[in-house]
Copies of this chain bind each other. A is one copy, B any other.
Amino acid sequence: MKREIFLVSDGTGITAEKLGHSLLTQFQNIDFNQTTLPYVDTLDKADTALAHINEVNCSLNAKPIVFLTVINPILRKHIAQCQGTVIDLFGAFLKPLEEALETKSSYTIGLSHAMADEDRYNTRMDAVNYALVNDDGCGAHTYARADMIILGVSRSGKTPTCLYLALQFGIYAANYPFVSDDMPHLELPKFLSQHRKKLFGLTIDPKQLSQIRTERRPNSEYASIKQCQTEIKEIEALFKREKIPYLNSTTQSIEEISTKLIAKTDVKRRF
């Protein structure tokens, strides 16, 4: 039987989920059943959440676990009466912060993922649009505006990385693919080499690349292990020859690729 987990928030629930996920991944031998209850911002909704948690059928020693990111102390205490074990973010940390900052918390709901800053919102939208019109080498080539240009063969993870960099950090990331027609004797085109400091490479294990490509075009030359090996050999040689910093994306999530890329380069996050 799966252990019941509730993620209760007065906002989007994203912080509660990150909090729960970080802690629960430390207990990988247990199966969890997660339920997010977002926008619990009134006493009525807190009542409903409380009832929901208490209705769960569980044995005495397998009570639900409740991750709570609710700022209003009255709602928070109300939900904390539930039958579960409560992990209360604001309950644990607001007090030491108030003491360190020598000021009271504003106890305002839903600030965490709210559109507090219009400039930030516009930058993010603009960075997403930038990534889209400069995706896959197509279109604009407005590389003067790029914070970063990501290079790699087809399906090595360039596009999701660029979009994540835009959404999460407001970074303007273009990407440019090298295709089999460019090989052998892969060279860096002038429109890229003139932005040398912005270049960053992605590589990937040829076997995984072949699997990913096979889902797209089964039994094609494009997806064959031989073709993938050739392309990866060529592109890694290019990265080394041109001294372009690069990462192997094989066993990494988009979050890991993006944050390691930032750590390895001088690119500045906008938030």
A: residues with CB less than 8 A from B are 3, 11-15, 18-19, 21-30, 38-39, 61, 63, 65, 69, 71, 85, 87, 89-90, 92-94, 96-97, 99-103, 105-108, 110-116, 121-122, 124-125, 128-129, 132, 135, 157, 159-160, 163-164, 167-168, 212, 215, 251-256, 258-260, 263
Interface class of chain A by DSSP: helix
- Say whether, besides A39-B263, A100-B63, A100-B85, A26 and B253 are in contact (CB < 8 Å): no
A-B contact pairs, 24 of them (CB 8 A): A11-B256, A12-B258, A13-B259, A19-B19, A19-B89, A23-B89, A23-B93, A26-B106, A27-B101, A28-B108, A30-B101, A38-B259, A65-B97, A85-B97, A87-B93, A92-B93, A113-B253, A115-B252, A122-B212, A124-B254, A128-B159, A128-B163, A160-B167, A167-B167
Give A106 Cβ to nearest chain B Cβ, in Å: 5
Given contacts A113-B255, A115-B256, 9 further A-B contacts (CB under 8 A): A14-B255, A18-B112, A25-B111, A26-B105, A28-B111, A61-B102, A92-B93, A114-B252, A164-B167
Which one of B65, B71, B163, B164 contacts A26 once the chains associate, using CB atoms below 8 Å? B71
Copies in the complex: 2
A12 touches B106 (CB 8 A): no
Task: Specify which chain B residues have a CB less than 8 angstroms from the CB of A128 in the assembled complex.
Answer: 159-160, 163
B256 touches A114 (CB 8 A): yes
B115 touches A251 (CB 8 A): yes
